Chain A
Amino acid sequence: MYGIFRECYVSLKLYMGNGALLVMFLAAAIYILATEKSIKKKVVLGIMPLVMVVGFLCPIIKKAYVKVFSDGTDTYYRLLWLVPIYLVIGFGACKAIFSLKKSMHQRVALVVTLAVIAITGTFVYTGQYMSKAENLYHIPQSVVDVVDVIAPKEGEPRVRAAFPDEMVHFVRQYNTNILMPYGREMVVTQWDYYNSVYEVMVKPEVIDAEALVAATRETKCSYIILNEERAIDGDLTEQGLELVDTVDGYLIYADPEVIGQK
């Protein structure tokens, strides 16, 4: 049981990041408990949120959650979504600010509150997964440009193309007429699936051109897209492929043998 409690505690710590959010939440909830006159507000914004956090740390609840949800170990933190953390902090902060008698003191307290939130928090738009949008699709422009070259025209059959792993998340967000021999399911390492094209196209440090073409022909890929920087042992044109275009640093090869079979 203690081991499960430790797991819950780690989940709470991971959720709360540097801990400042947890401190603000606990401070606000305790402040509401101590000063709020309305018993209902005291219960809903003071007692209940604290009970929910205590419940989150309770091993029995974690065991029940994991039993109900197959991915429960990874998603247990989502129970914290139910705790009205922002509501409690917001209400507690407002209550504290407006308990001050003078307007000027209230203004200063508001500025201090906002400064504390900003300094202890993390600005969402500078996060590691954030970047300036290259287009309204919010996908790399290189994917758009490459797909525009190989996409079938109206009435033509769909085409299958092997893309480098950095592109697979985005290709079908732009055009679902492009099929792929492997997709995001191969890139998520912990899933650990097997795919013959992925094995020869992504895993080796140096691609074996002959093995790659054999695998893509096996899976009926009409095109292979390679990053110009990618090390490859051999030339794909010597395997019968044609270099159609080079777009944004990506080489687009067509396989006449597969295209001819359609």
Chain B
Amino acid sequence: MHLLVLWLLIIPFLIGILFNFILPVVRRTVGITFILGYLVYFGCFEVVAIPCMLKITYNAFSYCTKYYTIISLVLAAAGLIRGLWVLKRDGFNVLSLFPGETHAGAHELLSPRSDPKMLKMNYSLESNIYWGIFFVLLMFQMVMSVVMSSFDGDDAYFVVESLLAQQADVMNTILPYTGTSTSLDIRHALAVITMWIAFIARQSGIHATIVSHSVIPCLVIALVYLVYVEIARILFRRRQEIIPVFMIIISFLMIFGNVSIYTNATFFLTRTWQGKAIACNQVFPLIFWVFLWMLEDTGHFHSTNPAKTVSDDHYMITPWVMLTLINMLAGVCTSLGIFFGGGIIALLTLILLFFSRRWTVLVGAVLCEIPSVIYLLLYLSIWGG
């Protein structure tokens, strides 16, 4: 259990601390730091896992595990050192590392230089009750993901791929259904989320099927709602007491969203561990969130907002870095995510271009697609070869 906490919570969080200096101060929160850490964590895995899978014939998964462990531990250690250094420099206070957690106090409310609405507000008793209801709903979904089992035929492929990596030390070179050897199934192989789950299984010493069905859902459910919270923070920046109400409504839409086998909600709560489910419930909302962030940064996002931008120019590159990492996550989840992610980014870039009137957003959009282009070229070259 403690190894799961280490590899699923502590290490990505420390990686987030290492890189959270790229975030604008108001967005340098615990939640966004954790999201950033996870994006880097997954990005590193894609960079390690795909070459190992394509280039190493025997014991490929052991090599993948070794290299990724080293990289993760080095980044986490660097994050720890940076965190301690910042705390020593700026004082042993949580706001030193996460200044975005600052709550608006009397000083901020009175100062003409500050924009207190960009800071977190203290909630009323009623809002705190709503937060409490949301957390009960969140816990309910996490507990149900462990005590309830949902049948899905695709598990005979994806979950077995993870277990094969853990038990047979291979990366997608044994046919999951029967166990005979096979050539690399390129349609699924580049989506290395199954290998990442196997990595967590190996590091924690827990059976990969248990990790898939009973561990990963708890993590994914929490991460998905974290993204919705961040979206809500932007949408309701001026009226933060609405955020918990929004989250309760989103939770209800998910819990009662099984109106067909095709909906995002059905995938979210019945096939949570599968790449497709993570892509449609985590990756695509992440893309929306980053574009809402950039639209907010262009000013006039909220009807009463002053013309000034909320982030310094210094941080203008950050959302595009995030999008680059999100594109990598899309590829980790499913090859479909590459196409879909690229499409939605193109559409939202047009909207951003219209509002920002800066041609540089096109540069950002093109650059953030580089990992997807490499992924696609790799896909086509193996497919053709």
Would A176 and B270 count as touching, CB distance under 8 A? no
Question: A214 an interface residue at 8 Å Cβ cutoff?
Answer: no
Chain B: interface size category = 35 or more
- The answer to whether A158 has its CB under 8 Å from any CB of chain B is yes
Question: Which residues of B sit under 8 angstroms from A103, Cβ to Cβ?
Answer: 126
Within the assembled complex, what's the spacing in Å between the Cα atoms of A252 and B360?
67
Query: Which segment of A1-9, A125-133, A237-245, A254-262 sits at the interface?
Result: A125-133
Please state if A122 and B259 are interface contacts (CB–CB under 8 Å): yes
Q: How many residues of A contact B (CB 8 A)?
A: 81
B163 CB contacts on chain A under 8 angstroms = 172-173, 176
A164 at the interface (CB under 8 A from B): no
Does B81 touch A at the CB level, under 8 Å? no
Q: Is B38 an interface residue (CB 8 A)?
A: no
B256 touches A37 (CB 8 A): no
* Of B107-115, B171-179, B188-196, B363-371, the one with at least 4 CB within 8 A of chain A: B171-179
Query: Is A136's CB under 8 angstroms from B214's CB?
Result: yes
How far, in whole Å, are A251 and B222 apart by their CA atoms in the complex?
43
Stretch at the interface among B16-24, B44-52, B239-247: B239-247
Select from chain A the residue with minimum beta-carbon distance to B239.
Answer: A98
Q: Is the interface of A mostly helix, strand, loop or mixed?
A: helix
Q: How far is the CB of A87 from chain B (nearest CB, A)?
A: 7
Q: Are B157 and A184 in contact (CB under 8 A)?
A: yes
Q: Is A117 an interface residue (CB 8 A)?
A: yes
Which listed segment binds B: A15-23, A199-207, A222-230?
A15-23
B230 to chain A, nearest CB (A): 12
Which of B235, B246, B288, B336 is within 8 Å of A41, CB to CB? B235
Closest residue of chain A to B156 (Cβ to Cβ) is A184
Which residue on chain B has the smallest CB distance to residue A45? B235
Instruction: Contact check, A110 vs B148: say whether CB atoms are below 8 A apart.
Output: no
Structural contact, A131 and B149, CB atoms closer than 8 A: yes
A85 within 8 A of B: yes
A residues less than 8 Å from B152 (CB atoms): 129
Pick from A68, A77, A94, A132: contact of B148, CB below 8 A: A132
Inter-chain contacts of A110 with B (CB < 8 A)? 245, 248-249
A114 touching B147, Cβ below 8 Å: no
Question: Please, could you name 21 A-B residue pairs with CB atoms under 8 Å apart, sorted by A?
Answer: A21-B259, A21-B263, A39-B300, A40-B301, A52-B347, A78-B262, A78-B340, A84-B284, A86-B264, A91-B246, A94-B249, A98-B245, A110-B245, A117-B252, A118-B256, A127-B150, A138-B149, A169-B156, A170-B156, A173-B156, A180-B177
The CA-CA distance from A160 to B179 in the complex, in Å, is 9
How many angstroms between the C-alpha atoms of A118 and B301 in the bound complex?
A: 32
Flag if A21 contacts B355 (CB, 8 Å). Answer: no
Closest to A183 in B: B177
**A34 on the B face (CB < 8 A):** no
* A185 touches which of B177, B236, B260 (Cβ 8 Å): B177
Establish whether residues B207 and A137, one from each chain, have CB atoms under 8 Å apart when the complex forms: yes
Q: Chain A nearest CB: distance from B1 CB in Å?
A: 12
- Cβ-defined contact, B292 with A14, below 8 A: no
Beyond A137-B207, A176-B160, whether A123 also contacts B179 by CB under 8 A is: no
A183 touches B257 (CB 8 A): no
**B119-149 contact mask (Cβ, 8 Å, vs A): 1 or 0:** 0000000100000000000000000101111
Q: In the complex, which residues of chain B have a beta carbon less than 8 angstroms from the beta carbon of A113?
A: 249
Q: Which residues of B contact A134 (CB under 8 A)?
A: 149
> Is A168 close to B, CB under 8 A?
yes
In the bound complex, do residue B260 and residue A173 qualify as a contact, i.e. CB atoms below 8 Å apart?
A: no
B255 on interface, CB distance cutoff 8 Å: yes
Looking at the assembled complex, report how far the CB atom of B201 sits from the nearest CB atom of chain A, in whole angstroms. Answer: 12
CA distance A169 to B34 in the complex (A): 36
- List of B residues within 8 angstroms of A17 by Cβ: 259-260, 263
| In the complex, residue of chain A having the shortest beta-carbon distance to the beta carbon of B268 | A124
Contact yes or no, B246 A84, CB < 8 A = no
Chain A residues whose CB sits within 8 angstroms of the CB of B288 once the complex forms: 44, 84, 87
The answer to whether A81 has its CB under 8 Å from any CB of chain B is yes
A33 touches B (CB below 8 Å): no
* Beta-carbon contact of A15 and B262 below 8 Å: yes
- The answer to whether A124 and B343 touch (CB under 8 A), given A94-B236, A138-B214, is no
Flag whether A247 is at the interface (Cβ < 8 A): no
